[in-house]
Amino acid sequence: MKKICLFIICLFMFIPLVSAVTTTQSSSVKTTTTTNKGPTEGEECVEESCRITNENEECTDEKNCETTSKEKEASDDGLLSDGKSAILIEASTGKVIYEKNSHDRYAPASMTKIMSMILIMEEIDKGNLKWNEKLTTSEYASSMGGSQIFLQPNEKMTVKDLFKAVAIGSANDATVVFAERIAGTEDKFVEKMNAKAKELGLKDTNFKNAVGLDEANHYSSAYDMSVMARELVKHEKIFEFTTIYEDYLRQNTDNKFWLVNTNKLIKTYEGADGLKTGYTKEAGYCLTATANKNRMRLIATIMGASDSKSRNSNMATLLDYGFNSYEMQVEVKKGEVVSKKNISKAKNEIVEIVPSKDASVLVERGNKKEALNYEMKLNKLKLPIKKGESVGILNLKDGNKIISTVDLTVKEDVERASILELYKRSIKSILSGSM
């Protein structure tokens, strides 16, 4: 009897021990190791480690890393499934079609170069930079890490090729070459970037470098990035670069360099023709994209997506939503004559004034507005005048509210009349008695 009792006592002590061991083994089986994932092929790498912060890594930016319940709800709004913030706008009017946390401040990564490209294009438009001008690489510019074309100290490259490197390959070294040429130093160029941000009315942007490397107090927002993109696309020349999927630099040399566009949407999404991707450890995967279909240009920004595939998929969804839900109601077509001016000293005295692009209003599909009115403000016309040169503005109005503004230009180049032509006109006027 004593042996039986002892056996029962031992049995009850052994069962919990077995259960504890089994639980431990089960837990260990379920535990997996998370490996940091780097950028996919063709993506930018602007951190030496090229790693994404995983759940176990310490986050030093409380604002960017803390996810509130409100943000969790916003991330599953039926339209956007990934990204900390996003926005979708129509380019000509700036009308916001969709937004999520659009004014929250985050690291913009290489989308920073949108502002850099604005300043570069402005210098080109002013004639301070020529496309065939050769710029010299400094020691500092050649030392840039991350995305680069491996410029060597004192290497010379044309403005055109350097701009290709920035617009297609997001090259940090090429961007700094421009910064130094325009402002003397990168720091001085950054001052110009921030001044331009202020001019554009951006309240959630501050730049600390020209390329988008993670740095304290270097931030922007989805809304501000869309405003910058809207400013950049006014320089239509940029589409000659942002639509290139692949190209080569240093042709016919031993250092031939293959450029592949980091923005895969230009190959996979109908109408996509720009603009700028970005990735750093702090920023995650970012993209400001633009597409043009059915006389409508949309601009969208996604910040802080988890990977490039998800970012691109969400961007396509965002653009689809815009194109499927809205359309442009064109009131005055590009090139339509809206005014005629008599300029006595012009080769052709009658000068036709036209909008440089469509004057349109954004409407929901199937919800046309009644015909809108417009007003024109012409500058004092000075000869000669080139087609495309702004000679005034046309304001499209809904009642007293200005909906959009487009530049006015001349339908054809306007040249100054020769002395002989002016003499003939004077004689003709005298004979007709009009003088």
Q: Is 432 among the catalytic positions?
A: no
* CA 149 to each of CA 68, 93, 162, 258, 408: distance values in angstroms, whole numbers, following the listed order: 40, 37, 9, 9, 40
The catalytic residue among 110, 138, 220, 221 is 110
What 204-210 contacts at long range (C-beta under 8 Å, 24+ apart), as own/partner pairs, is 204/103, 204/104, 204/105, 207/112, 207/115, 209/112, 210/112, 210/113, 210/116, 210/175, 210/176, 210/179, 210/186
Q: Is 6 exposed, middle or buried (0-12, 13-18, 19+ CB in 10 A)?
A: exposed
The 3-class secondary structure across 3-14, one letter per residue, is HHHHHHHHHHHH
Give the separation between CA 400 and CA 293, rounded to whole angstroms. 29
Instruction: Check if the beta carbon of residue 169 is closer than 8 Å to that of residue 260.
Output: yes
Closest of 130, 117, 147, 114 to residue 46, by C-alpha: 147
Strand-pairing partners, residue 186, are none
Cα(301)–Cα(291) distance, integer angstroms: 12
**Which tokens in the block code for residue 251?**
């042709």
- In the set 102, 170, 220, 226, the catalytic residue is 170
Catalytic residue among 84, 92, 102, 113: 113
DSSP assignment letter at 206 = B
113 in catalytic set: yes
What's the CA gap between 195 and 202, in Å, rounded?
10
CA-based radius of gyration for the chain: 29
What amino acid positions are annotated as catalytic residues?
A: 110, 113, 170
